[in-house]
Structures are given as C-alpha cells and as structure tokens.
C-alpha cells in the first residue's frame, strides 16, 4: 500500500499538526494539577511525528536530533537536583518526603521532572519506531521492511518442516501441560492469596486529600506520586535510554 499517493492524509495531517502540538502542550503544562503529565504529552507528540513520517515517507529530522532531545531530558533532571539543593538544602527540594518541601518549590520540581520525562519519551518514541520503519540504512527509506513483513507472515522457508502428525501430538502434549499449569496456578492463587483490601484506609485517603488541597494540586494521582516521583523519573529515563541504546546495538551488530 502506498500512502504517499493520498492527498487527503497529507493535507489533513499538516492541518492537524499545530493542534496536536497545542494539545500536547496543554497535557504537559497542566500535568501537575490536572490529569495528564510528561509521559502522556510525550507520547502524543511522538506518535504524531511517527504518523507524519509514515505518510510522507521521509524523516523530518535526523536521528541525532532526537538523540540530543533525549539527552536533554537528563539535563533537566540534573537542573532539578541542583536547583532544589541550592534553594532548600535537600536534593530535588526534598520532594521525596511529605512536608519537606514548600508548595511553590514542589510545583517547580514537578515541572522540571515532567519536562525530563516529556523530552525523554517524545524523543525515544520516534527513535524506537524509526528503527522498525527505516530498517535498511539511514539513507534509503523503506516503510515496513521486508524482514519485518516476513517475520509477521512467514513464507515457505528452506528448513525442513516437521511432519504434521508429529506436530499435532507435540501441540496436544504442550496444551495439556499448559492447562494443568494454569489450573494449578489459579487454585494456588485462589486458595493462598491473602484477601487484598482494595481501597486505602479512610484515614490515609484523608491525608491524601489534605496534601492535595495544601499543595493546591487537584489530581490526586500526582499527590500520591509526589514522594516516589524523583526515583520514578530517574528509573523511566534510564530504562528508555537503555532501550534505545539496546535497539541500536542489536541493529548494528552483524
């Protein structure tokens, strides 16, 4: 299928792009107080760039540009660490402990951490999808590389196929084992798993509410997220960078 022929897609996407930018900016900038955040905004803008590249069949910016965008994410993490330390005496402005940080400082820290995740995710989304779209090399543009197509729908291969009857027997054996495993695990879970109380206790919910109103944050998810946010941001940034590096290594090795 040649998407390049479609005038409708090209016109519609070019008209929609500013609105996508605006929407991702809205989701990002209200991330601390309302539903939304850095990750969601990054995914919105990243996938939109991927769609643009799919339709126009060419790269908008080169790979190093998005790699630099990714690395800028770490820079914002560092800014949050050092600025928080200089202002309040704690790294990240004492965000990791309730009450260790004042309201305006906490909001600023959340903004910086959101920015780190936003840059990280928007850069890596494009890079990850690009590795599957432009598999051949940096110059030749080939959407949906033949390797990937064959992998999804394998055709006749030169390797000797196992006879059909033997396959059926193997499949039956494996299916019986799988059914047994599933039955045992379900029984074990039902019998021995302790009853999990679904909601936080009433007092804890009140604490969350009070903290939310104190920091004037309306999104309670981000209030719960206030403490572990620093560690979580660091973890996400590291995982994303390692993934992009890993894909690069896998792709490059001959």
Partner 1 sequence: MSLIILAIGIFGLITADNLIKKIMCLSVIENTIILNFISSGYITGAAAPILTAKDIATVDPVPQALMLTAIVIGVCFNSLAIACIVKLHEKTSTVLVSELHEF
Roughly how many angstroms between the first and final C-alpha of the chain, as a whole number?
Answer: 30
Give me the least distance between CB of 120 and partner 1, in Å please: 9
SS3 182: helix
Is 143 near partner 1 (CB under 8 A)?
no
CB 146 → partner 1: shortest distance, Å?
10
Which residue from 1, 8, 86, 160 is in contact with partner 1, where contact means CB under 8 A? 160
The phi and psi torsions of 92 (rounded to 5 degrees) equal 60, 25
Q: Which is nearer to partner 1, 4 or 209 (CB)?
A: 209
Told to check if 219 binds partner 1 by CB under 8 A, we report yes
Cα angle value 80/103/229 (rounded, 5°): 45
Q: Is 167 one of the binding residues for partner 1 (CB under 8 A)?
A: yes
Q: Which of residues 178-207 bind partner 1 (CB under 8 A)?
A: 178-179, 181-182, 185-186, 189, 196, 198-200, 205
* Residues near 10 by beta carbon (within 8 Å), at least 6 away in sequence: 55, 56
CB atoms inside a 10 Å sphere around CB 237: 23
Q: Is the separation of the CB atoms in 134 and 123 below 8 Å?
A: no
Which of 26, 56, 132, 234 binds partner 1 (CB under 8 A)? It is 132
Which residues neighbour 224 within 8 Å (Cβ) at sequence distance 6 or greater? 208
- Residue count at the site for partner 1 (CB under 8 A)? 65
> Rounded to an integer, what distance in angstroms lies between the CA atom of residue 239 and that of residue 120?
10
Residue numbers of the site for partner 1 (CB under 8 A)?
Answer: 34-35, 37, 39, 121, 128, 131-132, 135, 145, 147-148, 150-152, 154, 157-162, 167, 171, 174-175, 177-179, 181-182, 185-186, 189, 196, 198-200, 205, 208-209, 212-213, 217-225, 228, 232, 235-236, 239-240, 242-243, 246-247, 250-251, 253
């Amino acid at each position: 299928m040649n998407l390049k022929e479609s005038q409708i897609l090209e016109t519609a996407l070019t008209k929609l792009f500013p609105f996508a930018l605006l929407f991702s900016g809205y989701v990002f900038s209200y991330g601390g107080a309302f539903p939304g955040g850095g990750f969601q905004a990054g995914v919105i803008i990243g996938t939109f760039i991927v769609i643009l590249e799919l339709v126009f069949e060419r790269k908008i910016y080169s790979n190093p540009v998005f790699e630099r965008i990714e690395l800028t994410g770490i820079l914002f993490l560092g800014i949050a660490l050092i600025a928080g330390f200089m202002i309040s005496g704690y790294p990240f402005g004492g965000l990791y402990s309730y009450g260790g940080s004042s309201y305006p400082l906490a909001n600023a820290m959340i903004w910086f951490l959101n920015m780190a995740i936003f840059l990280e995710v928007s850069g890596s989304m494009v890079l990850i999808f690009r590795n599957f779209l432009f598999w051949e090399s940096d110059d030749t543009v080939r959407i949906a590389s033949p390797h990937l197509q064959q992998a999804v729908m394998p055709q006749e291969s030169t390797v000797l196929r196992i006879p059909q009857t033997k396959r059926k027997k193997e499949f039956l054996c494996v299916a019986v084992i799988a059914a047994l495993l599933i039955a045992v695990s379900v029984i074990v879970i039902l019998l021995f798993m302790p009853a999990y109380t679904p909601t936080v206790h009433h007092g804890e919910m009140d604490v969350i509410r009070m903290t939310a109103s104190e920091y004037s944050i309306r999104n309670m998810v981000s209030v719960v997220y206030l403490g572990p946010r620093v560690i979580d941001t660091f973890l996400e940034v590291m995982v994303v960078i390692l993934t992009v590096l890993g894909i690069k290594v896998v792709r490059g090795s001959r």
